[in-house]
Amino acid sequence: MEFIQECAHAFGVGDLSTCKPLGLDLGTWGGLFGVSIVAALALFWKTILTAVKVILRRIRQRWQPIPPRQRSKLFGRDRDIARIDAAFKANPTTIAVTGQGGIGKTALAEEYGYLRTRSGRYRDWVLVSTASETEMANGLCTIAKLLGVPDDVNPKTVIDLTYKKMAESGSRWLVILDNVDDKDGQRRVLKNLRSAAGVDHVITSRISDWHGRAVVVDLDLLTPSDAVELLTSASGRESSDALRSLAIETLERLPLALVVAGADLRLMNIDAELYASEFNR
């Protein structure tokens, strides 16, 4: 109070103790002024702390470690990895990897996600089943949890919020929409396909016509040498004429058939020629 009175005298103002604007004496006004200052400072620091929490949460979301995934070796698909890279460089956000069943579409898409996440192109990738909208939402759960999307909402909302959070994160993401093998599945995927900044899609499908909504990368069979290498690796056996015949002629260079046969040969005490004859029955 004395400080305020001294300031008033310095500006030629008389005794402030007799000044009562709105019926309140100076002491009351000083108290109200002090309370206002304290409230304003409290609001200021609350705002600062809230902003810091938001920034820290976004930093945690951006740099939170991703659980490691198991990875199997992929044979003979370096050229197809390069084809997907070339397709994305032309700036589409959706690639459809197509081909017959067992040709290795899913394995290629997963390998692409692994390689490009490791190289820094993507923050993370996720494999999503497209059998239903619910399964699509469940497939996004890894990224959804990473970005703080609640899990107690309906599937469509989970999908919407996850894409919104991915777009706002400042990172790049890869969503693999797996096994779209019939027209119903294609319609479901096209209905739920979201356009979001920083989000790329790879669709795996036996359908080659995507109505201009995706750039198609069609897979060929493995080369004979790659097919034999895959079978020898999967079976744990040395290459032989019988093994080469099994890989190229009997199994027709299909990656899935080669992996399954390799596992069988590793477990069964039979030679490749006998396996081929049993396979052809």
What integer pLDDT is reported at residue 63 of this predicted model? 43
Q: Which residues contact 61 (CB under 8 A, 6 or more apart)?
A: 146, 147, 148, 169
Question: Could you say which of 3.40.220.10, 3.40.50.300, 3.40.50.720, 3.40.47.10 is the CATH number of the domain covering 78-218?
Answer: 3.40.50.300
Q: Is the pTM of this model over 0.75?
A: no
What integer pLDDT is reported at residue 153 of this predicted model? 83
What integer pLDDT is reported at residue 262 of this predicted model? 94
Q: Are 107 and 115 in contact (CB under 8 A)?
A: no
Residue 208 phi, psi dihedral angles, 5° rounding: -95, -20
In the structure, how many helices (H) and strands (E) does the chain have? Answer: 12, 5
- Chain centroid to CA 25: how far? 65
Distance CA 26, CA 28 (A): 5
Q: Are 166 and 196 in contact (CB under 8 A)?
A: yes
- Taking 50 as the pLDDT cut, the residues of the chain under it are 4, 8, 11, 22, 24, 29, 59-67
- What are the sequence ranges of the domains in the chain? 1-63, 78-218, 224-279
